[in-house]
């Protein structure tokens, strides 16, 4: 069980414990992948540090370092806050209902629980001013 369908109409279903374990696994996998890409690029850069022409080629022709910067910006600006918001929703469900599958049938209550994710996302997201963003 991962994230409940936030666009669904009808009952809201969540299994907080299963959701947390899925999110933790995703978080670890994605962070490791990002770190591996960065290590690979830094090693490549170090291998060519004595040759200015090769460094310019790596930096500008392949755009690998700007792609890494964009990937990191996406991670910190969107992916990580979304995962934190999902964990916040799972934590609140756990604190409210305990572990195990929970189904909220009442349409108003179900809608309120779906909205909790968006509130948590807003709370965990920082939007830098336009002049700070990369072009």
Region of 98 please: left (phi>0), alpha (psi -120 to 50) or beta. Answer: left
DSSP codes, 69-117: HHHHHHIIIIIHHHHHHHHHHHHHHHHHH-SS-EEE-SHHHHHHHHHHH
Q: Where are the domains of the chain?
A: 12-128
Does the pTM exceed 0.85? no
* Residue 16 near residue 102, CB atoms below 8 Å: yes
* Residue 54 near residue 90, CB atoms below 8 Å: no
Per-residue pLDDT of the chain (135 residues), as tens digits, is: 567 777 788 899 999 999 999 999 999 999 998 888 888 777 776 666 666 565 555 554 446 667 777 888 888 889 999 999 999 999 999 999 998 999 999 999 999 999 999 999 999 888 767 776 554
């Amino acid at each position: 069980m991962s994230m409940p369908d936030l666009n669904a109409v009808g009952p809201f279903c969540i299994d907080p414990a299963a959701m947390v374990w899925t999110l933790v696994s995703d978080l670890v996998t994605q962070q490791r992948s990002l770190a591996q890409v960065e290590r690979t690029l830094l090693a490549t850069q170090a291998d060519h540090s004595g040759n200015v022409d090769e460094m310019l080629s790596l930096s500008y022709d392949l755009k690998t370092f700007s792609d890494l910067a964009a990937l990191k910006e996406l991670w910190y600006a969107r992916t990580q806050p979304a995962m934190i918001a999902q964990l916040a929703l799972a934590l609140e469900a756990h604190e409210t209902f305990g572990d195990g599958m929970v189904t909220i049938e009442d349409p108003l209550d179900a809608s309120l629980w779906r909205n909790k994710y968006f509130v948590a996302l807003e709370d965990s997201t920082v939007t830098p001013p336009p002049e700070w963003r990369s072009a």
